[in-house]
Structure 1
Amino acid sequence: MPATSRRLRLTALPLLLAILSATVVLTVGSAGASTADLSTASARTTSVINTGDGTLQRRERRIRNAVQVARNQIGDPYVYGAAGPGAFDCSGLTMYAYAKAGVRLPRSSDAQAGAVRRVKRSNLHSGDLMFFTSGGSVYHVGIFLKRRGGRPIILHSSYSGRPVQRDPVWTNNWFAGTLRPR
């Protein structure tokens, strides 16, 4: 057997294994496996992993789009019970922004808290949700944007008389949730 033929087969083997791994992952994923069960042998296959809600890239794009939709609402008034367009309460803003990006969220902040996967504060990414609590109950939700001087900045609709806006977080009584399959 010529040396070039052996080299070609040896270099093609990792690619073949990656393709087979992706096929197995997609088959397992479509059979109802949880996203926690999905893994790959190669980082190159992450673009085709089925998470149940589409590809990882599609989910990331939807989250970025939701953040942009929410940013476009800056200046809109707070109205209790409103879910846009043109006026929002806190959970109405998050529900509206994510719905426009193709992601369903429940209506209330408490129900939204139950629909996300909790993440450590140190693992927040733009588009994750921050839930504010008092006495063990969720009373407010906002969209995490970034950190400034170590403090989280959120986009939210807080209360009557204040429009949708960006604010630094004012309390330590909060937890974070994500819609990413991480």
Structure 2
Amino acid sequence: MTMRVQLPHLLVRAGTVSALTLVALAGPVPGLGATAEAAKAPVPTKALRIAASKKGAPYRWGAQGPNSFDCSGLTRYSFRRAGRALPRTADQQYRHTRRISRAARRTGDLVFFHSRRGIYHVGIYAGGNRIWHAPKTGAVVRLERIWSHAVSYGRVR
């Protein structure tokens, strides 16, 4: 049975999720029913929806879901559920994706944070200069503004 959720109900469920993200995630929300429309969605769109559905899941180092995540565990879990395999760590995922420019980034692309030592964090681009990610110990999966200019963008092949 297909279940459609009205937008006001989504706004209540979404809490602090921006309206812009809700537009990007328009359509069925994982766990609320599926439609043929959702099945046809591109893999990055599905991965973004899956990551968003994990809002509030606790961060745990090394966790790959389904109830807790670290940053690369969330991206790996989301893409695997959407139909694409990713390696385990943020650095491995960086090497596995095709580099794209900031101007070419699209929702569902990966955002890699780097320092002199290399890649240290990854999230899924949600549009509006925001990412879904599992930030750090004591935090939860959430939508957050990209806070650094030391980022690279990658597209999952």
Partner of 1:15: none
The alignment's C-alpha RMSD in Å is 1.5
- Whole-angstrom distance in 2 between the partners of 1:100 and 1:64: 12
The answer to whether structure 1 residue 166 and structure 2 residue 143 are counterparts is yes
The answer to whether structure 1 residue 155 and structure 2 residue 136 are counterparts is no
The answer to whether structure 1 residue 61 and structure 2 residue 42 are counterparts is yes
Partner of 1:31: none
What TM-score, normalized to structure 1? Answer: 0.63
Partner of 1:138: 119
Partner of 1:112: 93
User: Over residues 93-119 of structure 1, what are the superposed CA-to-partner deviations in whole Å (9 max), with x where a residue is unaligned?
Assistant: 000000001100000000000000000
The answer to whether structure 1 residue 126 and structure 2 residue 107 are counterparts is yes
Give, as a single letter, the amino acid of the residue that structure 2 aligns with 1:84. Answer: G
Query: Which structure 2 segments of 5+ residues have no match?
Result: 1-38
Pair 1:178–1:60, CA change in 2 (3 A): farther
Deviation at 1:67, TM superposition (A): 0.8
- Whole-angstrom distance in 2 between the partners of 1:72 and 1:93: 11
Deviation at 1:61, TM superposition (A): 1.6
Q: Secondary structure at the match of 1:170?
A: coil
Query: How many positions carry a matched residue from both structures?
Result: 119
Q: Secondary structure at the match of 2:106?
A: coil
Deviation at 1:156, TM superposition (A): 0.2
2:73 to 64, 72, 92: 92
Consecutive aligned runs of 4 or more in structure 1 exceeding 2 Å deviation = none
- Whole-angstrom distance in 2 between the partners of 1:170 and 1:59: 33
Deviation at 1:86, TM superposition (A): 0.3
Partner of 1:32: none
Give, as a single letter, the amino acid of the residue that structure 2 aligns with 1:137. Answer: G
User: Over residues 42-74 of structure 1, what are the superposed CA-to-partner deviations in whole Å (9 max), with x where a residue is unaligned?
Assistant: xxxxxxxxxxxxxxxx99622111111111101
- Whole-angstrom distance in 2 between the partners of 1:61 and 1:134: 31
Deviation at 1:136, TM superposition (A): 4.5
Give, as a single letter, the amino acid of the residue that structure 1 aligns with 2:142. Answer: Q
Q: Which of 1 and 2 has higher RCO (CA within 8 Å, sep 6+)?
A: 2
Query: Which structure 1 segments of 5+ residues have no match?
Result: 1-57
Pair 1:89–1:59, CA change in 2 (3 A): farther
Give, as a single letter, the amino acid of the residue that structure 2 aligns with 1:70. Answer: A
Partner of 1:79: 60
- Whole-angstrom distance in 1 between the partners of 2:156 and 2:59: 25
Percent of pairs with identical residues: 38
- Whole-angstrom distance in 2 between the partners of 1:107 and 1:86: 17
Q: Secondary structure at the match of 1:92?
A: helix
